[in-house]
Amino acid sequence: MPERRTVALVTLGCARNEVDSEELAGRLEADGWELVADAADADVAVVNTCGFVDAAKKDSVDALLEANDLKGHGRTQAVVAVGCMAERYGKELADALPEADAVLGFDDYADITERLQTILSGGTHVSHVPRDRRKLLPLSPVERQAAAETVAIPGHGAEHADGDAEAAAPIEDLPEGLAPASGPRTLRKRLDDNPVASVKLASGCDRRCSFCAIPAFRGSFLSRRPSDVLNETRWLAEQGVREVMLVSENNTSYGKDLGDIRLLETLLPELAAVPGVERVRVSYLQPAEMRPGLVDVLTSTPKVAPYFDLSFQHSAPNVLRRMRRFGDTDRFLELLDQIRAKAPEAGARSNFIVGFPGETEDDLAELERFLTNARLDAIGVFGYSDEEGTEAAGYDGKLPEDVVAERLARFSRLAEELTAQRAEERIGNTVSVLVEAVDEEDGVIGRALHQAPETDGITILMGAVAGLAVGDLVEAEVTASEGVDLYAEVSA
């Protein structure tokens, strides 16, 4: 009997990539591969790359080179690139990085086993020439669902992206630990036992922000059907998941291609009612698409976190218009006021770009005015850099790199000060904390409602913590803060 082949998945980038990796893991395990955690123990290391900004691209290349270094020193025979960077650059990446034995695009996901077996057998797979994936689905959102069966969309597609009805049929007798990632047609295998898991609500984006290349390689916006999202959430709850985080490029657009732009308001209470789920969190919200009904549901539904991950990007009108975005300082502050009128302790976070072409000191003063008054719990600040294929890459008014770096440093310091102040404001509050780690050295660590995984800080629990386990939900009083992190006392 031939030796079972092993594969390791190395994931970089956002939570959407993590879901994609678990889909790939499900496909591979269903085909008989043994999943291992360490690339050094795998016949093939599959690196799920990020292609968003320069720093993320560098991290992806470094991960591929690190995996390549394992070849010849252990079990690893091949290194394969998948994910956004692989999709975005295709053959160009393959030519520039010969250390990668193959560069696979989204169209290869349904046939991932065949691709890896070919590579391990000494064969080659011709890397794709990138294409604008926005053109693969109809321009009209309401026509997309019918056409989606013929397009490879990670987390959405059938077993094959060629529309083969037999391939799209339900998969019987799934191996233990596998689940439908989109109804019965795609597979998902959890790669950790974290009590938090992301669920894809949609993929792609119809916005045309002048600085962003994501729609070109992720495609047009496409919602997953509510039944698919619910089925996957139920399965995750059976696996011990207590918090579900809904992810996509733009959650506020959910349902527009299904004929109901308010579908998220209907779906959230159903997700919160799934047995075993204690917290539902929504990420990636567009301020220009926020509506009163959605604010109401997010601030008043039991088990739905009053958490607002709002994509502001800037607040100076002139900069926002050049970004092809909407709003201004006063409108954004009004939105935050509306949220806090309904849920005073609601969490709010955002990311901002400084050094955008044409940005003036007056624009920076306007951004500072917004940040100073917004009381955000977490702030990400990025310095502008050109992204290939974006409108902004051709703009005039580019700022010197040293000016962008100075503005980045200045606003990063301001962000640290303001978020630390906001954390201090929470001292004396009672917070609901989901325990995520229990360690002899680090203690009991979790996250409050306003803290999303990875990005928004943690809560260190003290007091009556004996007996607490990962996945427990506990009430505690905030007694101190350090930066964005909180210290909270659990009563006996």
Pairing of strands 347-354, 378-383: parallel
Both tokens of 226, joined, read 């509510």
Pairing of strands 196-200, 243-247: parallel
Q: Establish whether 243 is an annotated binding residue.
A: no
DSSP 186: S
Judged by DSSP in three states, 315 sits in: coil
CA-CA-CA-CA torsion sign (399, 400, 405, 407): negative
Q: Are 142 and 223 in contact (CB under 8 A)?
A: no
Both tokens of 160, joined, read 């094959």
Measured CA to CA, the distance from residue 163 to residue 159 in angstroms comes to 9
Both tokens of 107, joined, read 């169209």
Q: Establish whether 205 is an annotated binding residue.
A: yes
Query: Which positions ≥6 away from 200 have C-beta within 8 Å?
Result: 16, 19, 155, 156, 181, 224, 229, 247, 248
Phi, psi of 6 (to 5 degrees): -115, 150
Residue (of 430, 438, 432) closest to 468 by Cα position = 438
Q: Establish whether 212 is an annotated binding residue.
A: yes
Binding residues: 14, 50, 84, 205, 209, 212
Binding residues for [4Fe-4S] cluster: 14, 50, 84, 205, 209, 212
